[in-house]
Amino acid sequence: MKKIALVTGATSGIGKACASMLARNGYNLIITGRRENRLNELAQKLKNNNVEVKTLVFDVRHKEEVERAIESLPRQWSNPDVLINNAGLAAGADPIQEGDWNDWEQMIDTNVKGLLAVSKAVIPGMISRKQGHIINVSSIAGSEVYANGNVYCASKHAVHAITKGMRIDLLPHNIKVSSISPGMVETEFSLIRYHGDKEKADKVYEGLTPLYAEDVADAVEFMITRPGHVNVNDMLLMPTAQASAVYNHREG
């Protein structure tokens, strides 16, 4: 029987690339996000890999929506083997004294509470089967803080702490818990961060080669293909042109 993976935030970027990688690895997939059209389009493409795909439309910020969506899955789909907690965002890049409260709430509600809501819905099934692998998408911002990154960095520091806590608490249940912590990845991330300002978003990647979503999916592929006795706790994956959250090298 094929294994099942659930990927949050599969409508774009890293989540979409992970879904494609998992389909190539023969996983049946549950892909989730708020943009239903994109999920349907992706589902059609993934099915070319001879796997089955279910789409679930929900906003990770709404715990009841998350619970209802997971509960709506048919029995044979209700216990994913792999959960990729990827849905997330940065909203705004302002000094703390000028930060927008709505941006802060959106980041904390999505990156922290959303990750918890999905995990809470999936973990009991993993415990009952004494197997599973949770991969939380963190960031270099989970271990470093940079100017104007304040609340986004805090939300990813929280993802790191939650990942470590999950790993300890789920230890007796044979559940692997990993995090993947990328530096700059060119996705829709910066467009969202700058509230649709494409010029500002493009500047983030100007003069250097960032990571691409597929690079992150390659790293996740390494994690999910380790033997049962091996867990990758965390992987920090950076573009060659970026030494840390702050130091990077741009041409020109």
When the beta carbons of 31 and 141 are compared against ligand 8X3, the nearer one is 141
Residue 34 burial class via C-beta count within 10 angstroms: exposed 0-12, middle 13-18, buried 19 and up:
middle
Residue 184 interacts with ligand NDP (CB under 6 A): yes or no: yes
How far is Cα 242 from Cα 217, in angstroms, rounded to an integer? 19
- Contact characters 76-95, ligand NDP, x per CB under 6 A: ----------xxxx------
Please identify, using beta-carbon distances, which residue of 73 and 245 lies nearer to ligand 8X3: 245
192 binds ligand NDP per the rule CB under 6 A:
yes
Which of 133, 107, 140 is CA-nearest to residue 211? 140
In terms of CB distance, is 86 or 163 closer to ligand NDP? Answer: 86
Choosing from 152, 194, 205, 212, which is the catalytic residue? 152
The answer to whether 136 contacts ligand NDP (rule: CB under 6 A) is no
Q: Does 67 bind ligand NDP (CB under 6 A)?
A: no
- Told to judge if 205 belongs to the known catalytic residues of this protein, a careful annotator would answer no
d(C-alpha 170, C-alpha 217), whole Å: 24
Task: Say how far apart CA 136 and CA 201 lie, in whole Å.
Answer: 25
Contact residues for ligand 8X3, defined by CB under 6 A: 139-141, 149, 183-184, 245
Is the separation of the CB atoms in 151 and 193 below 8 Å?
Answer: no
Burial track 95-129 (b if 16+ CB lie within 10 A, e otherwise): eeeebeeebbebbbbbbbbbbbbbbebbbebbeee
Question: CA 41, CA 156: separation in Å to the nearest integer?
Answer: 30
| Residues 204-223 close enough to bind ligand NDP by CB under 6 A | 213
> Between residues 84 and 141, which has the closer beta carbon with respect to ligand 8X3?
141
Hey, which residues between 143 and 172 contact ligand NDP (CB under 6 A)? none
Question: Judged by CB under 6 A, does residue 59 bind ligand NDP?
Answer: yes
52 Rama class: left (phi>0) / alpha (psi -120 to 50) / beta:
beta
Look-up of token digits 């409508």? 11
Which one among 7, 15, 134, 219 touches ligand NDP, defined by CB under 6 A? 15
> Which residues of this protein are in contact with ligand NDP, per CB under 6 A?
8-15, 33-35, 59-61, 86-89, 110, 114, 137, 139, 182, 184-185, 187-189, 192, 213
